[in-house]
Amino acid sequence: MTTASLEPYVIVGSEDDDAGIQEILKRSSLRARDKPSPEDSVSKRKKGAVKFTGPDFTRTYSTFDRNNEATANSPFHGFFTLFWMAVFLAMVKMAVENWKAYGSPLGRNEIMSSMFRRDVAVLLAADAMMCALTGVCWLLQRAVLAGHLSWDRSGWIIQNVWQMLFIAGVVGLTLVRDWPWSHTVFFVMHGIVMLMKQHSYAFYNGHLSTAYKNRADLISRLGWLAKTAPARSPSNTQPPATAVSTSHLASTPSAHNLMKRRSSLTPRPSEIVTDRPSTGEDKRGECDIDKIAEAIKNKEPMDADQVAVFEKVLRWEVDALTEELKGKATAPERAYPNNLTLWNQCEYNLLPTLVYELEYPRSHSVSWAYVAEKIAATVGIIFAMIMISQSSIYPVVMKTIEMKETGVPLPERFRFFPWMLSELLFPFMLEYLLVWYLIWETILNGLGEACRFADRSFYGAWWNSVSWDQFARDWNRPVHNFLLRHVYHSSISALKVNKHTATFITFFLSALVHELVMWCIFKKLRANGPEQNKMATRQGYVGKYGVLVWDFYMPERALQPVLDPVAPTTGR
């Protein structure tokens, strides 16, 4: 046996390992002092931000799903049926008029012809290749697990470089092939979805790889402690280890609390609470485990009591890391690193979520009748959108282009502009609503049912929004959840910024992605995204009249795509 002098302990570990031990002891010291009195308010006990918090996936149905009992029993459910009756009758009217004028229910069918004129097979092949390339992030995580790469050093850099190359390749292919707008919209949007999925998969598993490595190191240190004899003479450090309070180590460790502890080790100055008076218990807590950490730092020998306390601290940390590696998994085979299989990564790519978790709530079986219903609804809505565009939007847009190409003076084109907007306002708003319903109600629900994904909260009651942030949160829940975890919370925990700065970063990144999509379609920038960002920060002007604000906001969003190609015609 060797003595428990810290010199042998230092030999088996690197400087980074010793720094990790000091961090563990610091966290344990913080836990020992974390005994707030009942009269302490929650606001005084500021918590550190957790990097990978939320969302909480639950079994739920979307608002307009026929299986949603709350919506089915609502007295306003009839308006939903009335809306689709109105859409159906409008489609019948358009089809009859087109048949009478052109002999076809789709009229001249220019839009359908442009969508399927060329490169359909190339588009499908490119999309399949794009999905296959997401396996690169799986290979990277396997390399990290095998020890060939360190996620905290080179792994995350390689992942970010790959993500930039990935999205550049997606955008570049649309330019090289000179695809029509329909091909471009589908491919770029799907590429952005795959990019977000890769980011969530890689960074969450990369975080778990660090926890897995730390856990393995602590287990090896515990094995070393078991083979080490304590020093024969008691340590001279004060207080003695027998006086150290270890009651906080008796509680079951929580991965969530562990992550918050890590983020609170370097609190921001604005988060330091100074209005709580220090007590004798606090001062004693400061010199308990802290003294042991000081002894380790100075390479002093540990006596039997100190070794026992140190072992308790390490075992608590190992248990906490084990809980963190388990995440939301209910079975060990789904915990890290057992989740790093090609099937798991492919399955995640199919699920209608942008946030990676070790396990999601699942339905017991698949209702293929429900899937067929959603497929039929998808096809029907697409045809309805084509008919509306062909009958009410395409002729107006072509008229504006004709006026420009024939040299109509600019003042006359400006006089025509208000009438053009009035003709486009309603059909574009209807198209906007149909696009939203097509994606978030039919496609995502059908995909969720086919994959047995039980959390169908793809959107909230955005039509009742009274603020811009509520509208952005409820309009598109999958993207909101991604931005919340990987941009907002990550900015706070990694960059140590406050909530307002993190909110600005989140909206700014969202605006950049929006402008990228608009540029890919129209090859010009309008900077509407940053304007929305500024509007989102002016909630003081919204208040109870916010519902009126988004009423005016929706027509602008609906008309935005048509205003871009018309911009040269109108002099904008």
Buried/exposed 126-137: b ≥16 CB within 10 Å, e otherwise:
bbeebbebbebb
Q: Prior bond to 8 cis, omega within 30?
A: no
User: From CA 523, how far away is CA 350, in angstroms rounded?
Assistant: 31
User: From CA 511, how far away is CA 517, in angstroms rounded?
Assistant: 10
Looking at residue 262, the DSSP 8-state letter turns out to be H
Question: Tell me, what amino acid is at 517?
Answer: V
CB count within 10 Å of CB 100 equals 8
Looking at residue 455, the DSSP 8-state letter turns out to be B
DSSP letters along 32-89, please?
HH----TTS-GGGSPPPPPTT-------B--TT-TT-HHHHT-TTHHHHHHHHHHHHH
Q: 453: which strand partners? A: 362
Is the pTM of the predicted complex or chain greater than 0.85?
A: no
How many helices (H) and strands (E) would you count in the chain?
Answer: 24, 0
- Classified as helix, coil or strand, 498 is coil
Is residue 266 within 8 A of residue 496, CB to CB? The reply is yes
Could you tell me which residues come within 8 angstroms of residue 391 by beta carbon, excluding any fewer than 6 positions away?
94, 97, 98, 107
Residue 209's nearest CA partner among 140, 139, 141 is 141
Is residue 50 within 8 A of residue 204, CB to CB? The reply is no
Q: Where are the domains of the chain?
A: 6-31+213-274+281-318, 459-572
User: From CA 305, how far away is CA 244, in angstroms rounded?
Assistant: 9
Looking at residue 442, the DSSP 8-state letter turns out to be I
Is residue 294 within 8 A of residue 201, CB to CB? The reply is no
**Token pair belonging to 7:** 């010199």
CB count within 10 Å of CB 563 equals 19
**Token pair belonging to 263:** 């983020």
Could you tell me which residues come within 8 angstroms of residue 365 by beta carbon, excluding any fewer than 6 positions away?
452
Is residue 4 within 8 A of residue 229, CB to CB? The reply is yes
Q: 228: which strand partners? A: 2
**Token pair belonging to 328:** 């939301």
Is residue 551 within 8 A of residue 471, CB to CB? The reply is no
- Classified as helix, coil or strand, 114 is helix
CB count within 10 Å of CB 156 equals 18
DSSP letters along 157-192, please?
HHHHHHHHHHHHHHHHHHHHHT--HHHHHHHHHHHH
User: What average pLDDT values come out for the chain (572 residues) when binned by 10 residues?
Assistant: 44 53 67 48 40 81 89 83 92 91 84 85 96 96 95 95 97 93 93 96 96 91 73 52 48 53 42 44 49 66 72 85 90 92 95 95 94 95 92 87 84 84 88 93 96 94 83 90 92 88 90 89 68 48 50 53 42 37
Question: Tell me, what amino acid is at 303?
Answer: D
The sign of the dihedral angle between the CA atoms of 218, 220, 223, 224 is negative
How much is the pLDDT for 338?
Answer: 94
Q: What are phi and psi of 254, to 5 degrees?
A: -120, 130
Question: Tell me, what amino acid is at 332?
Answer: P
User: From CA 478, how far away is CA 196, in angstroms rounded?
Assistant: 10
The sign of the dihedral angle between the CA atoms of 148, 151, 154, 157 is positive
Q: 362: which strand partners? A: 453
User: From CA 293, how far away is CA 124, in angstroms rounded?
Assistant: 60
CA atoms within 13 A on the CB side of 273: 15
User: From CA 9, how far away is CA 40, in angstroms rounded?
Assistant: 41
- Using left for φ > 0, alpha for ψ between -120 and 50, and beta otherwise, residue 49 falls in beta
User: From CA 424, how far away is CA 559, in angstroms rounded?
Assistant: 7
CB count within 10 Å of CB 239 equals 12
How much is the pLDDT for 568?
Answer: 36
Q: What are phi and psi of 362, to 5 degrees?
A: -125, 145
Angle at 427 between CA 422 and CA 431, to 5 degrees: 140
Residues with catalytic function:
514
**Token pair belonging to 468:** 């811009």
